[in-house]
Every structure is written in C-alpha cells, then in structure tokens.
Structure 1
Amino acid sequence: DKHLYSGSGELWWGGPGSPRPPEFESAVRVWDKKDWSCVTVLKGHTDNVNSIAVDNKYVYSISDDATLRIFSKIDWTETLCLKLDVMRIDAMTTDENSIYIGCSDGSVRQFSKANLAT
C-alpha cells in the first residue's frame, strides 16, 4: 500500500489535556508515503476513531460513535456505514474474508466482507 492511515489525530495530538482540533477527532487521514502529504480526509464519524484496517479495495474504520464505516480506496467515498447497537466500538481486526469488532459490551462481532460489499 502506498498510503499510511491515521485516525483521531494520532500524528498531531499532544495527549490528554492537550487541545485537539475538531477536524482530527472524527476523521481518518490518508497520507502519501512518498512525501507525507495528506491525500484525503475520510469523514463521517462523530467521535474518536479507534481503529483502522485496510485491504486492497477498502479502508475500514470504527469509532466511539458505535459505527463501522467502509471507504473505497478507488475514489475515497464512503460505501457503507453500519451502526451497531452498542455504546462504543473499541477494537477491530480483519482477515481475508471477515471483519471482527470488539464492542464495549464485551461482545465480539464478525461480519463477512462479501455481505458488506456494495
């Protein structure tokens, strides 16, 4: 992948108690590895982005807003927003076929990438 992905301003935020610009709080930034320029900002989350995963076609992000958002790597558009009936989503990992999400209620949910494809 020729890009690096960051969420919730990890590259800029000074830590607890530091002022955090709102545009970093709920976005995924896509960086070009050649010159470290920001290629695009993937918006839509309304709270901190907790985890990002990528594959050949999509960028997957989860947030404290209890959503999984999927963005196309072709044109950076959002292809799906899935709202889960939990307080918060804490962790995510993917493999070739599935997305696994760890939720604040202690549950782990599995979603088939094929079923989420639009």
Structure 2
Amino acid sequence: MLQVWNTESGAECSLNGPVGQVNALESVYNLLFAGVEDGVILAWKGTYETNITFQLAATLKGHTHGIISLVAGVVNRLYSGSKDHTIRVWDHENWQCIMTLNGHDDVVKSLMCWDKYLFSGSLDCTIKVWASTEDGSLEVIYTHSEEHGILALSGMTDPDVKPILYCSCSDKSIHLYELPTFTDRGRLFAKQEIQTLQIGPGGLFFTGDQTGLLTVYTWLAD
C-alpha cells in the first residue's frame, strides 16, 4: 500500500494495488507510477482540487523480475530498470512498452534523463549513456566503468553552471563527474552505502545511506 499526502492541506490518500515491496516511485503531470518487486509497474491518475483522489489507470507488465528504478522522460516516455538486467521504454499515453534495452549484465539500479540522453547505472559496475538513433531506437554511445557497483545516479550544475553527474557506488562513496567528458571532480564518503540521491533548490543536494542518515550538501563557490 502507498500513502499520499497533500503537503498544503494535510489530506491523506491510501493507494491499494501493489503486491510486494515498492522499490521505485515516479510522478509526471497527474500520474503516479510505482515499480514493484513482482515486476509490475502500477500507474494512478490523481486529482487534487479538493481532496486527493487517485484511480488506478494501468498495470504495466513485461519485466520478469522486480522493478528497481523509474524515470520519466520527454514525449510521454517512462523508463524502467529491473533486476532482470533490462530497461524498458513505455509510452504512458497508450500504456504500451515500445522498446526493451539490453546491455547491462546485472541489476539496473538507477536511471537518469539529462538533455537528450538516458543514463543507466547498474551493479555490473557500469554507467551507460543512451541516445536516440535515426529510426527512433536507443543505442549505447558511451560506457563508463567503475570498480564497484552503481547504486544511484543524479545530476545538477555547479556554481560555474557546468553539469555534474553524481554516482553513488557500493564502496560507500559518491563519485562526481563533469559531463559530457566524465572528468573526475572529486568524491564524497559515507559510513554505509548511499542508496538515494536527490537534488534540491539553491544548489543543495541530499543523500540517504543505510544507517538512516540524511546528509545535506551544497556547492561552495571558488
């Protein structure tokens, strides 16, 4: 079961439907997506005029193992990463899977859209950069290798407005890379694996690790 709150009114709504653990959430427009351990993606349509109400709109099936990551892209696209080592591309207007991306050899832990590219991070110790081809499919245009598995990806700009990729690895560190060259910009360290990264306003970014610690960082101007 999922719980949804209106942060202004405090109104609460319970969403039934998931069978098993919910590993990933994503929202776009009035849609809320949940990636579940049984390999299914559930989609709800919400209304917010008075009380919060959600209605189950679709059940997306295709993955053979649990969904671990979700991210919304442009042109009604939803991307899902799974324990079955694949990425699926969905059209959330007609609820169809339009593409299955193979290339990783382990769990796809994180997905990120940046500009016209899709980034995927996996426990196979690689980050793959995908781009559209002339026929509309996606292909890997670059693979970056790490010594440890990838747990989470996120990105923001530094004070010089240069795009920076944050990459959490299973060695309890976050690697910072300047895009598009993947130039090393340093590392951050934690006591346990950092499972989630989130970008905030005003140059802030947040990390959550397995000790239950939430840490807030900000860029310092040179």
TM over 0.5: yes
* Matching residue of 1:101: 167
- Encode CA deviations 1:17-43: one digit per residue, 9 max, x unaligned: xxxxxxxx1111110111111121121
Q: TM-score, normalised by structure 2?
A: 0.43
Q: RMSD value over aligned CA atoms?
A: 1.5
Whole-angstrom distance in 2 between the partners of 1:28 and 1:94: 20
Amino acid at match of 2:142: L
The structure showing larger relative contact order (alpha-carbon pairs under 8 Å, at least 6 residues apart) is 1
Whole-angstrom distance in 1 between the partners of 2:156 and 2:97: 27
Structure 1 residues 84, 68: closer, same or farther in 2, change over 3 A? same
Q: Which has the higher strand share?
A: 2
Whole-angstrom distance in 1 between the partners of 2:96 and 2:156: 28
In our comparison, the structure showing a higher alpha carbon Rg is: 2
Give 5+ residue unaligned stretches, structure 1.
10-24
Identity %: 30
TM-superposed CA distance for 1:89, in Å, is 1.3
Whole-angstrom distance in 1 between the partners of 2:177 and 2:93: 33
Give 5+ residue unaligned stretches, structure 2.
1-73, 158-162, 183-222
Whole-angstrom distance in 1 between the partners of 2:92 and 2:145: 31
Q: TM-score, normalised by structure 1?
A: 0.77
Residue 181 of structure 2 aligns to a residue in which SS?
Answer: helix
How many positions carry a matched residue from both structures? 100
Q: Which has the higher helix share?
A: 1
TM-superposed CA distance for 1:98, in Å, is 1.8
Amino acid at match of 1:95: M
Whole-angstrom distance in 2 between the partners of 1:3 and 1:56: 14
Q: Is it true that 1:4 corresponds to 2:78 in the alignment?
A: yes
